[in-house]
Structure 1
Amino acid sequence: MAGAIAGVVALTANPAGASEPRSLYAPSAMVLTVGQGENAATATVERAVTLTCKPTADGTHPDAAKAACADLERAHGQPALTLNDESDHICPQIYAPVILTADGVWEGRRVSFEQTFANSCLAQAQVTNLFAF
């Protein structure tokens, strides 16, 4: 019986030197959220989407998925660099904090981003395609 088990194990084991097939693309996928609150740990998430950029733009991100991936490509996968800090929006001085988060991987590297804005107007003034959902 031990010989039979050893034979089955030998037949099902990977041959020497064989490895799992590798993808041509390092993973690039994120979960993006917009929430109410001062930090990600205590915020109430209002909207959340998934975004996969490689090999093709996909996920639950709305129509701007390709543009969002292009923004991330230009920013080398750093969500903070996709924000528009040259906006001329005029916003009320109301404190109702909004937080944007991005968690996932970009070209195989871990990405974790969160930024809090004083209110939704200030957040929308800086949002580009990545957080346009």
Structure 2
Amino acid sequence: MLPVALAAVAVTAVLGPLPDPKPTYGGPPRPGAQQELTLSYVADAGFAMAVKLTCDPPGGGHPLPAQACATLAATGADPDRIKPGTGACILLYKPVTATLSGTWQGREVSWQHRFGNTCEMRRATGVLFRF
């Protein structure tokens, strides 16, 4: 088992980290289906945050559920389609991985992206990860 782990570390060291997986969207939407998502981010430094978000009606643990739902509706629940903000972020490398998963308009959705720090994450994703 140890040789396999060492080989994986060696490959990562040579090739660099693996790219973020592409977002996935399940089958065709089902009208009237619940829209329930989990938004989370995990930092390499060891802290993590997560909230549930429901839409129609907006709710869950997100502090701004109506705005987050409006953002998802405008982008088809694809955070890569959000127009990034223009605020400045400090050039401090403290990587975080943001994840969105659940059901949107009756389809299973899954998205993940690694950012250099939480400021970059929030600038790129707007209100979605402001919790």
Indicate how the Cα distance of structure 1 residues 61 and 88 shifts in structure 2: closer, same or farther if over 3 A, else same: closer
Shift of 1:86: 4.7
Q: Percent identity?
A: 31
What are structure 2's unaligned runs of at least 5 residues? Answer: 1-29
Q: 1:36-115 to 2 correspondence within 5 Å?
A: 36-37=43-44, 44=46, 46-54=48-56, 56-62=57-63, 64-82=64-82, 84-92=83-91, 94-115=92-113
- The answer for unaligned runs of 5 or more in structure 1 is 1-22, 38-42
TM-score by length of 2: 0.68
Q: Which residue of 2 aligns with 1:31?
A: 38
Change (3 A) 1:113 1:74: same
Coordinate RMSD, CA, aligned = 2.2
Please report how far the alpha carbon of residue 87 of structure 1 lies from its aligned counterpart in structure 2 after TM superposition: 1.9
Distance in 1 of aligned mates of 2:47 and 2:108 = 21
Cα deviation, 1:52-111, whole Å, max 9, x if unaligned, reads: 112x0011111x1001001101111223223x435241421x322111110101111111
Aligned to 1:19: none
Structure 1 stretches (4+) deviating beyond 3 angstroms? none
* Paired position in structure 2 for 1:132: 130
**What is the count of residue pairs matched by the alignment?**
102
Give the partner amino acid of 1:98.
V
Contact 1:35 1:47 in 2 (8 A): yes
Q: Is the 8 A contact 1:33 1:45 kept in 2?
A: no
1:117/1:49 CA distance change after superposition, 3 Å: same
Partner SS, residue 131 of structure 1 = coil
- Residue 24 of structure 1 deviates from its aligned partner by 6.4
TM-score, normalised via structure 1 length? 0.67
What is the identity, as a one-letter code, of the residue corresponding to 2:119?
C
Partner of 2:120: 122
